[in-house]
Amino acid sequence: MVQEYLNTPLRERNSFGIDARAARLAEFDSAESLCEYLARTPRTTGRTAVIGGGNNILFTGDFDGLLLHPVGRACRIDARGGDRVAVHAEAGLPWDDFVRLCTENGLWGAENLTAIPGTVGAAPVQNIGAYGAEAADIIESVEVIDLNTLKPSIIAAEHCAFGYRESVFKGPLRGRVVITAVNFRLSRTPHPNLGYGALAAETAALGEPSLENITEAVRRIRASKLPDPALIGNAGSFFKNPVVEQALAERLRSRFPEMPSYATADPDRIKIPAGWLIEKAGWKGVTRNRAGVYERQALILVNRGGASGANIIALAEAIIADVQAKFGITIAPEVNIW
Ligand code: EPU
């Protein structure tokens, strides 16, 4: 089934709470109904894009094309024995419901990704990640519909070009396919991933490293640092953590010995937390024209109420320029700007 809305408000459909409208929005509950709808719907004006929970999008104006929104939420866990367990989830399932289904069934691999806002279909697009885990670790394949041919296909994980908050769906396949479901592979064997120090400490305070304790620890850490979009508009991290040349990192470390940094797969390149750079540059807690920098995590821009997309962009641009001037590092948005 497809439910179509014309000239519809988007404020409740994006976690930034930006007041924009979509010329046309269609909610679809299956790949078949989506194809049937697209086949009979002329797409003459504007572009076609997909919106899940709207948790990683900043609208800078009205959307003049067609927005597709998956609402199918079915999730099937392969009941066969063995350690590796296949899980098939439809794109419209809220991500945290998926994580809960996995953990309640004793499946390991998704627990560190507890409480990330958004839908299953959005997870592969930016390869969501937290506390040393990312969606790509458990994704087996992604089911899509090609917007031109209206044919379904399954893209294996090795062809998804997953990287740090990156994938083929943000790159060459952007605007060309609609994700309808994701196939995951989880494990029945416990393998706690507690490399992120604060998670190890919070879990230990709760007891043994069980799925229940790890998910509770993640919930507590997130609640202490990240604003709830139901209460204050935001899209999680607004910027990506920049990866810089080792030489630049060393020059900065001699000026700021306390600067946190992380090794990457490339020994010549170091990841530096953008939140630290933004805080050090003096932006934490600053508000300009109703757009603000969250006071407990400087990586997050918030809508203090009534901010437009342009207000948020103006703040982001001022921060980018200042971080560039102070540290010689260009930070880039992680959020999709529409
Ligand atoms: N830091 C500061 N000031 C700040 C924020 C951070 O000094 O205002 C420092 C922290 O003290 C710490 C370091 O920066 O030493 C890293 O901070 P944190 O562990 O909070 O993580 P992050 O690098 O800021 C990333 C993800 C988050 C994810 C956390 C935990 C990105 C863009 N963000 O943030 O993901 O929850 O790690 O794994 O990679 C998201 O993508 O929306 C998101 C929330």
140 is catalytic: no
pLDDT < 50 regions, the chain: none
Query: Do residues 313 and 58 lie in contact, with contact meaning Cβ atoms separated by under 8 Å?
Result: yes
pLDDT tens figures, 254-295: 999 999 999 999 999 999 999 999 999 999 999 999 999 999
pLDDT tens figures, 166-212: 999 999 999 999 999 999 999 999 999 999 999 999 999 999 999 99
Mean pLDDT of the chain: 96
Ligand 1 neighbour 276 (Cβ under 6 A): yes
Residue 191 CA to residue 306 CA, distance in Å, equals: 44
**Ligand 1 atom nearest to 334, measured from its CA:** 32
Could you tell which of 56, 299, 301, 336 is best to mutate to test the pocket of ligand 1, judged by most ligand atoms within 8 Å of the CB? Answer: 299
Whole-structure pTM over 0.75, yes or no? Answer: yes
165 is catalytic: yes
Q: What does the pLDDT read at residue 216?
A: 98
Ligand 1 neighbour 299 (Cβ under 6 A): yes
What percent of the chain stands above pLDDT 90?
96
